[in-house]
Structure 1
Amino acid sequence: MSYSSRIIESINEYPELTIIDTQKLYKEKFNDVSEQAFYKTISRMSKNEDIERISKGIYCKPRRGRFGTTISSEKNILEHYLGINKNRGIVIGYQMYNNKGLTTQLSKTIELYSNITFQEKKQIKNVIIYKANIRFDISTIKMIELLEVLQNYRNIEDLNIIRFKKIIEDSIKYYDEKTIQKLIKAIGYKKHTIASLKNILDFFNIENKVDHYLHGTSRYNALRMEELYGVTS
């Protein structure tokens, strides 16, 4: 079978509207073919309208009906990069803040971390995907949610303080040293975010070694739990 036939056969196995990430496909299945030959076949399939281009390197098999041609929607994009069971990624940014009741504000774009993508950052329509080579178990998800809020809470419009406290109290139940270690390595949170986490864990008397990533906490302009909870010494 020719390389062109192999590529066409592989793409034809994709269900309609499913995201086809050609960079990922090439690296996983066709690295024995030259990139030029691979993308020449992709270009030909696109010109023949066998597949439709959504953004650079991203295609889908369109759905055709009597009302016209349909291509992948935001829902299809999210399902691909988050996983149908939402075990391949997590939504962050204003979409997450809104879902958690931290704010009533929304953004035109949806941001997420995913272990599907090969690129550090990719935008498809209004969805921005950041690479995160991690396993998205419940502990990881809860810690990402907390760290994302700690990193950005000062800039969240109309921040709901009650909901902010609830996220802190719910998330710290899942604190785990190994999880934090892999998140710092994979995502790279800022020092003030890690210092804020340290203050939270200390405030709730949760044993931790977060100071391993810091040189003291006062210099980082971290969240002060005594102020958040109105505690006086």
Structure 2
Amino acid sequence: MSTTAFISKQIEKLPPGQVFSYSTFLKEPDQREATIKALNRMVEAGKLSKLAKGRYYKAEHTVFGKLGPDLYQVVKDLLEDGGKVTGYLTGYSIYNKLGLTTQVSNTIQIGKNDVRSKLKRDRYTISFVRQKNEITTEHIPLLQILDAIRYIREIPDVPVLSSIVRLNTIVNDLSDSDQKKMAALLLKYPAATRALAGAMFEQAGKDALAKKLHQTLNPVTKYKMPGISSIIPNAENWYFK
């Protein structure tokens, strides 16, 4: 069986939108060039779509046109390494998921322990945010919420106070176990993030967690957030003004 015939048969088994590289079909190292050429010929023939150099997918065709892969597939190789989680989606796509904004962005933000320069893939710009905590599947939902608190001023098309209301509800609705985990993760976030999350914990009656966070703050440092006391009455105790 020729390389092209072998690859075509394997691609038929893949679901639409799944992103893959030439190495997915590489049986022998000396077949690398032949594999890449076969995939590129399939792109030229319209049988495959190319996301970026070395990254391909089988597009789904609908009455509305050709559908590309979802965000996770676009950046999956940047989120996993050998089956181990090394990064997570954060920023604009998560603001939408958390109900903080309806805006959809062409920028994909990824949290990683080691960041790198921005890159382009198809219509997307991919940027990176440094995460000091260990990144695990269990931590990711909490890190996404904490990133939203940290970058609350950057949430598009929504007043900061409205974002605080929504995030306050999200934090209050977490289980006791998740709130404890979040408080531990907060220790590696900037002081302003610890202060805002701590005020939310205190308002929710989580006094023990709030006290630990409060002890990490410098009382001399003040955080400007006009109007926050109308939403979180205890905000002044957390050095907001």
Q: TM-score, normalised by structure 1?
A: 0.58
Q: Give the equivalent residue in structure 1 for 2:26.
A: 30
Q: Give the equivalent residue in structure 1 for 2:95.
A: 97
In structure 2, which of residues 162, 167, 175 is the aligned counterpart of residue 164 of structure 1?
167
Unpaired runs of 5+ in structure 2?
Answer: 77-84
In 1, distance between residues paired with 2:59 and 2:11? 12
Q: CA deviation at 1:152?
A: 0.4
In 2, distance between residues paired with 1:170 and 1:14? 39
Percent of aligned pairs with the same residue?
17
Higher relative contact order (CA 8 A, sep 6+): 1
Count of residues in Structure 1 that have an aligned counterpart in Structure 2? 206
1:9-28 equivalences under 5 Å are: 9-15=9-15, 17-22=16-21, 26=23
Is 2:174 the counterpart of 1:175? no
Q: Deviations over 1:49-73 (max 9, x none)?
A: 32122444333334579x8x94333
Q: Deviations over 1:120-177 (max 9, x none)?
A: 966343474869995545x631x12321112201333412032232123224741354
Relative to 1, partners in 2 of residues 1:10 and 1:179: Cα closer, same or farther, differing over 3 Å? farther
Q: CA deviation at 1:217?
A: 3.3
In 1, distance between residues paired with 2:182 and 2:56? 37
Unpaired runs of 5+ in structure 1?
Answer: none
In 2, distance between residues paired with 1:48 and 1:112? 32
Do the aligned partners of 2:61 and 2:67 also contact (CA within 8 Å) in 1?
A: no
Q: CA deviation at 1:46?
A: 1.7
Q: CA deviation at 1:114?
A: 9.2
Relative to 1, partners in 2 of residues 1:78 and 1:52: Cα closer, same or farther, differing over 3 Å? same
Q: Give the equivalent residue in structure 2 for 1:46.
A: 43
CA RMSD of aligned residues (A): 5.0
In 2, distance between residues paired with 1:10 and 1:147? 41
Do the aligned partners of 1:61 and 1:71 also contact (CA within 8 Å) in 2?
A: no
Relative to 1, partners in 2 of residues 1:101 and 1:11: Cα closer, same or farther, differing over 3 Å? closer
Q: TM-score, normalised by structure 2?
A: 0.56
In 1, distance between residues paired with 2:107 and 2:51? 16
> Secondary structure of the residue that 1:71 maps to in structure 2?
strand
Do the aligned partners of 1:60 and 1:71 also contact (CA within 8 Å) in 2?
A: no
